[in-house]
Amino acid sequence: MKENINIRRLADVIAAKASADGRTVTPEEVAEFLKVLFDTVGDTLLRGDSVEVDGLGAFIVDYSSQYGIELLVDRGFAQTVNEPFDSFEATELDDEITNDLLDTCNDRPKPEPVADPVESIVQDAPVVDVEEPESPEAEVELLESVAIEEMAPASMLDENEELASEPMEAPAPAEEPEHEHEHEPQAQPQPEHEPVEEPAPVEEPEPQPEPESNPDPELKLEPESEPEPQLVPYHEPSKPEESKFGNGFILGLLTGLAIGAVGLLIYILFQPMPGADEEIEAEEVNTEAISDPAGGFAD
Amino acid sequence: MDNKQLIETVAKAMGQDEKTVRAMLDATVEEIAARCSDCDSVAVPNFGRFESVKHDEHVETDPMTGARTLEPPCIRVTFRPSVVLCKKLTR
């Protein structure tokens, strides 16, 4: 496919095809034939004439074309080339088939290959905290046991344990980022979003019965269920933070209201009464009149 | 020059009979078609190259009637002359 073939490499095939009816054609004769054939066609084209070859088409000289020489392909040659698509036919589309529908058909994703059983087991496993040093070891043990079970018969388990452990160590670090991606969205929103913390206690009882229901020693889910209690410390400190924040806010609000009330009371008590100045001036005039009773008569 | 004249000319130049030349010519055309059907290109030194281009299925719309037709995939063979032949032609 998409290979550039020199026609002289095809001399053997052409010689075999041309040898029939008691006639034997050697590859050397074919090579000479090809040279003479295309030299003749080229010379004819250079004279301005066209050359017609049965089964192939007609070479014509057209100076208005891109290269000056064109090949008008024979219908039989085109049919031979398109033999792989003979089962297809041009179909007129109905109005119900819209361009959007065709685009969706073209954009339809291809079916994904069957997931690796090891990866599916790891993805189905309960959430495990990455920071815990025991979890990677438990994962490696789990992957080893499952992979060995599925890929090797039981009789070969003992022999392949050592061999299987070595290649399985390599994918283990590659799987850790997957867990990180899985845990990061859960671990980060816990301190920020309060409602997310509520379903956390619901998750706790689920993994606990699993080790009890799976008595198989090969499925070591205990180390994976252990990290979940570690999620509790992330929830506990958040609840007191809520109450502290609410109490502080209420306490500050009450304090502000009390200070405001006291200020208002002080303002009301010590505010000068309207018209007090006039009364004071009238009192002063009265006192002056009393102290100098003869003043008006002197004038 | 038609096919018969071509065979006569080649047979005369090679000193072969026309039946043998015709058989070799038919075998050559058949092999070129087989290679182009595999989307390969066949190069002929000092002459040119037969190239095949595969076109996927597509929808064509008639500009006059607006009718849409789903065209099947196809392989189209084109010929690209060599530089030597083009230079000789331009002279």
Single-letter code of the amino acid located at A4 = N
The first and second tokens of residue B4, run together, are 């018969």
Helix ranges (DSSP H) in A58-133: 75-81, 99-106, 117-124
Q: How near does any CA of chain B get to the CA of A110, in Å?
A: 18
Q: Is residue B30 within 8 Å of A30, Cβ to Cβ?
A: no
User: CB-based contacts of B49: which residues, under 8 Å, 6+ apart?
Assistant: A4, B41, B42, B43, B79, B80, B82
pLDDT > 60? residue B29: yes
Subunit contact B49:A10, Cβ cutoff 8 A: no
Backbone angles phi, psi at B54, to 5 degrees: -90, 130
Of A18, A40, A46, the CB nearest to B13: A40
Torsion sign across C-alpha atoms B61, B65, B66, B67: negative
Q: How near does any CA of chain B get to the CA of A112, in Å?
A: 23
CA-closest candidate to residue B38, choices A175, A32, A4, A108: A4
Q: How near does any CA of chain A get to the CA of B14, in Å?
A: 7
- Mutation to test the B interface, candidates A30, A64, A67, A101, most B Cβ within 10 Å: A67
CA distance from start to end of chain B: 22
Strand partners, A51: A59
- For A20, nearest residue in chain B (alpha carbons): B23
pLDDT at A118: 52
pLDDT at A252: 93
A202 at the B interface (CB within 8 A)?
A: no
pLDDT digits (tens, 9 = 90+) for B3-19: 888 898 988 888 888 88
Number of continuous H segments (helices) and E segments (strands) in chain A:
16, 5
Subunit contact A49:B49, Cβ cutoff 8 A: no
Q: Is residue B32 within 8 Å of A18, Cβ to Cβ?
A: no
A51 at the B interface (CB within 8 A)?
A: yes
Subunit contact B37:A84, Cβ cutoff 8 A: yes
The first and second tokens of residue B67, run together, are 């009718």
Residues of chain A positioned with their CB less than 8 A from the CB of B38: 1
pLDDT at A145: 57
pLDDT at A68: 83
pLDDT at A137: 58
**3-state DSSP call for residue A274?**
coil
**3-state DSSP call for residue B7?**
helix
* Rg of chain B (C-alpha set): 19
Strand partners, A71: A59
Residues of chain A positioned with their CB less than 8 A from the CB of B55: none
B 71-90 residues with CB < 8 A to A: 71-81, 85-86, 88-90
Residue B80 to residue B42: CA distance in whole angstroms: 10
pLDDT at A87: 78
Only one residue has tokens 């609840």, namely A239
Single-letter code of the amino acid located at B37 = S
Please give the helix or strand (H or E) that residue A182 lies within, else none: helix A171-187
pLDDT at A242: 56
Residues of chain B positioned with their CB less than 8 A from the CB of A97: 68
What is the interface size between A and B, counted as CB pairs within 8 Å? Answer: 187
Compute the average pLDDT of residues B39-58.
86
Residue A213 to residue A205: CA distance in whole angstroms: 13
Question: What is the share, in percent, of chain B residues with pLDDT greater than 70?
Answer: 100
B32 at the A interface (CB within 8 A)?
A: yes
Subunit contact B89:A61, Cβ cutoff 8 A: yes
Residues of chain A with pLDDT under 50: 122, 128-133, 152-223, 225, 296-299
User: CB-based contacts of A33: which residues, under 8 Å, 6+ apart?
Assistant: B10, B14, B16, B21, B24, B25, B28
Q: Is residue A205 within 8 Å of A228, Cβ to Cβ?
A: no
CB count within 10 Å of CB A22 equals 5
Subunit contact A93:B68, Cβ cutoff 8 A: yes
Residues of chain B positioned with their CB less than 8 A from the CB of A50: 1
pLDDT at A264: 93
- Mutation to test the B interface, candidates A32, A43, A69, most B Cβ within 10 Å: A69
Subunit contact B33:A81, Cβ cutoff 8 A: yes
